Amino acid sequence: MQHDMHLAPPPLLEIAGLRASFRGPNGYAEAVRGVDLTLQPGKVLGIVGESGSGKSVTMMALLQLLPGGSKVTGSAKFRGRELVGMAADEMRHIRGKQIGVIFQDPLSAFNPVLTIGDQIAEAIRLHDRTVSKREGLERAEHLLDSVAIPQPKRRVSQYPYEFSGGMRQRAMIAMAIANSPDLLIADEPTTALDVTVQAQILDLLQRLREELGIGLVLITHDLGVVAGSADEIAVMYGGRIVERGAVEDVFYRTRHPYTRGLLRAMPRVEDDGEDLTPIEGTPPSIWARPGGCAFHPRCVNAQQICAEVDPELRPALATASACHFAASLPPLAAPSELVGAPL
Amino acid sequence: MLRYLLRRMVAMPLLLLGIASVVFLLSQVTKGDPLSALIPERMMSNEQVVATVKAQWGLDRSLPERYLIYMGRLVQGDLGTSFSTRRPVSTDIAGRLPATLELVIAAMIFGCTSGIGLGIIAARFKNTFADSAARIFALIGSSLPVFWSGLILLFIFSVKLGWVSGPGRLDARTEPPPGITGLFTVDSLLAGNMPLFLEALGHLILPAFVLGWSVTGIVTRLIRSSLLEALNMDYIRTARAKGAPESVVILHHALRNALIPSLTILGFTFAYLITGAVLTETIFSWPGIGSYAVSAARSLDYPAIVGVTLVGAMAFLLANLVTDVTYAFANPRVKLEG
Amino acid sequence: MADLIDREPAATILVRPVFAAPEQHRRPSRGTVAWRLLRKLPPTALIGGVVILFWIICAATVQFWGLPDPLALAGKRLQEPSAAHWLGTDALARDVLSRTLYGARFSVPIAIAVVAAAVAIGSLLGAIAGYVGGWIDGLVMRAVDVTVSFPPILLAMTVSAALGPGLVNASIAMVIVWWPIYARLMRAQVLEVREREHVEAAVAGGAGSFRVLTKHIMPLCWTPTLVNATMDFGAVVLLAASLSFIGLGATPPSPEWGSMISEGASKFYNWWIAFGPGMAILSVVLACSFLGDGLRDLLDTKER
């Protein structure tokens, strides 16, 4: 689909060689180890991986939202402007104004002692001082309405704990789009929600993207979440991207054992749950990461070289894969296995 | 929460009864002989005088009788008559209350504002020099014996430097302002008497600082720790993600949440203040309830000391109740439950 | 933000293993455990401990230090600090430094006695209340409620005024002020520990109530009490001095810190008379705060 564009627009987000490390008692440990990503305006990028894979850290790093004592290097250009090393005061005008963020658990992400309306109005007033408090609240009401929250007039003056989980996430989204940003980063936006509510939230995000032309980065551990909504997918493991490609390529033509593992672990509509095979073992801690390919202790195809050399991300078939055996991976046990992928 | 508050309200009279009984019993087991405070030494051998005095002060009745009489009077607000001033204790206390209130309010204002300010600095610049300095200043405040720091500061700032006035509420020959609130600083302002206001302020500032400093320590410590806890919360990251500058993040988002747990120690702080006030008033010759209690204790004036203790306990109970109610209203989650 | 970074594994270990001595290893001797604990204390807490130790040693041995008699003339009266009298002399020409150091002989034993008595009485009542429950619990806790309704200094003043001035009576008054704190602490601990499995096992094994309480429950309940007692040591020194300052504790010729400051207050311009005892009180209270804080962090009690 990218081929028929006569002139590629400048990318919305262009990340190159991004690294982020945290300080521990025995020095720094890298949580993100050289990530390259590109997102075009109005497109959706899914970043997938288990917890601890560095997917959230990558996004928080470019917004300078990591806890104190962490180090970020490399480059992250937002509409051509370098975010890494940007002065705090300048960064402040990008956060919330041009880049909106949606967090995983909307209960803890909202301030418990301020009303939802106050918090949305604040998001507006922080970037436009001409807006009065009253105007801010009126606009908060409209925003709640636009994310399909019933009775927005009553809702603006309620506290976060008075909202249900799904309503809170809608309010969170309303707050993130309050200043019509160009980019929305959604960090596990549906993880804390019921399955039916999940679908509603994903629909809402999709609708907003279409209506407002917002670029969206969708961070999730669940391939199912990105299957229906992403244009491109980056799979992360151990602080690196292990596979990247267009959504249908990653789903049907994956060349990485970890992605395969994730696909097998993904529940599908027609499944009765019997064939689900979770990946054995747990993802490595950033404080004790194995040498070589970070995935090799859990990989069914691992060979001697995997423990020694960390593979580069290279083109393989349709996607880019960081596996020594990307070209020679045995075919999937049963091709029919993936027929039902919810695309 | 509402139910809890109701239960507290119901428990109040019972606690008051307990307090009054304890205080009465204490005044009865006395070993130091109150008669010696009432009768000059040379008259002690005169049995008639002793008997008259005993009857006059009710010292000849039996214990239960005296208890009932005492309680009956107490309900009517009668705290007995002071041995030394020969006036009703309630009158004495009422007359001295404004002085103590003025001191305590000023100290509370200073202690809370400086404590909150230092707590914010300490949390914002955690583990830096500013943090250590703020915490040490606070810790010294709550460790200092006020009857000593008052003395030393009075010597430095009043005697040596002459920056503030000496003991008392006003200079020796100054007429107090017309009594409206009884607080000289407020009354002089209401009367539009600026020189008098400055004079009263000059007298108030040092004892209020000494007393307030002891509160600073508690407040700083608490604000720092609850602020640090709040700053670790997810909603702080949300606020930053919205583009809030660090000042808004701390003052608007974190402090609001940090103040709620801090409210719970208001009552405790009040106990600290009473203790401090008793000693501070003594050092600064402040004509309040604290110095009254001390002179009563020194002269074994039981009705007076018992009266002050009773009033102090009541005030303390009230402060705790106010704390609970404030807490209930400050925390939006609590409001609708229960 | 918790899910953002893996928790540092080392941070979760804390101090627990020191106490839960693993069975398979040779059990470290008591001395080793104490030494390991000591090494984990922050420097401020160690300084606090050293200061407290200094005052305890001072209280025990000051008469052998060859200082001037704290009650006798030592030159001219009201002299400023000098090489001969580091902290000057008071209105009766007594050496202030000597009096300050001798003051520890009042404050330290009083503080130890008051804290010990309050801990003993309070813990016992609290443990019984928590373990037995029912009306005994109600009675003890109502007594606690009434006692803590008094601002401490007023209660102490009333009690010591009622009993008559003097250090012993002031100490009794302070025990009355402090026991409820320990009753509450111990009761809360007992209520928690009572539910643990080893207690149920002991009860099932037929151990008597008293034995269960003293052998199986109370030994596990001392941590908060220890931390509090450390802090209260300083608070007792402060309140004892306050009472003496008012005139309800030690009486004049005694070199007690509070009454020394009281004498200093009447000789206002000779600031050095009060300086020594004031610094002494401050050092004890600060030291106890430091040590108590360190112990609390080390023993990881949930309070704060």
CATH architecture of A9-98+181-338: 3-Layer(aba) Sandwich (3.40)
Cβ distance A126 to B233 less than 8 Å, yes or no, reads: no
pLDDT, tens only, A191-220: 877 888 888 888 888 888 888 889 999 999
Question: Does B299 lie at the interface with A, CB-CB under 8 angstroms?
Answer: no
| pLDDT given for residue C280 in this prediction | 93
Nearest CB among C4, C6, C8 relative to A56 is that of C4
pLDDT band at A138 (very low <50, low <70, confident <90, very high): very high
Please check whether residue A225 is in contact with residue A218, taking contact to mean a CB–CB distance below 8 angstroms.
yes
Please check whether residue A311 is in contact with residue A303, taking contact to mean a CB–CB distance below 8 angstroms.
no
Residues of chain C with C-beta less than 8 angstroms from the C-beta of A52: 6
pLDDT, tens only, B140-158: 988 889 999 988 888 888 8
| pLDDT given for residue C272 in this prediction | 83
- In chain B, the domains with their CATH numbers are 16-75 (no CATH), 97-330 (1.10.3720.10)
Residue A259 has pLDDT above 50, yes or no: yes
Picking from A45-59, A275-289, C207-221, which range would have the lowest pLDDT averaged per residue?
Answer: A275-289
Q: Could you tell me which chains touch chain A, where touching means 3 or more CB pairs under 8 A?
A: B, C
pLDDT, tens only, B225-278: 899 989 988 999 999 999 999 899 999 999 988 888 888 777 778 777 888 899
Nearest CB among A22, A104, A288 relative to C5 is that of A22
In whole numbers, what is the pLDDT of chain B averaged over residues?
A: 84
Residue B329 has pLDDT above 80, yes or no: no
Q: What is the largest CA-CA distance in chain B?
A: 86
Residue of A104, A111, A133, A168 to mutate, testing the B interface (most B Cβ within 10 Å of its Cβ): A111
| pLDDT given for residue C6 in this prediction | 41
pLDDT, tens only, B210-226: 999 988 988 998 999 89
Please check whether residue A287 is in contact with residue A24, taking contact to mean a CB–CB distance below 8 angstroms.
yes
Residue B121 has pLDDT above 60, yes or no: yes
| pLDDT given for residue C62 in this prediction | 83
Strand partners, A76: A15
Residue A1 has pLDDT above 90, yes or no: no
| pLDDT given for residue B40 in this prediction | 67
Cβ distance B333 to A112 less than 8 Å, yes or no, reads: yes
CB contacts < 8 Å between A and B, how many? 71
Residue of C3, C4, C12, C14 to mutate, testing the A interface (most A Cβ within 10 Å of its Cβ): C4
Task: Work out the average pLDDT over C127-142.
Answer: 90
DSSP A115-164: -HHHHHHHHHHTT-TTS-HHHHHHHHHHHHHHTT-SSHHHHTTS-GGGS-
Nearest to C269 by CA among B145, B204, B166, B169: B166
Indicate the Cα dihedral angle A225, A227, A228, A231, nearest 10°.
110
Cβ distance C1 to B274 less than 8 Å, yes or no, reads: no
The model carries a pTM of: 0.80
Residue C74 has pLDDT above 80, yes or no: no
Q: What per-residue string of b and e applies to B291-328 under the rule 16 or more CB within 10 Å gives b?
A: bbbbbbbbbbbbbbbbbbbbbbbbbbbebbbebbeebb
DSSP A159-223: -GGGS-HHHHHHHHHHHHTTT--SEEEEESTTTTS-HHHHHHHHHHHHHHHHHH--EEEEEES-H
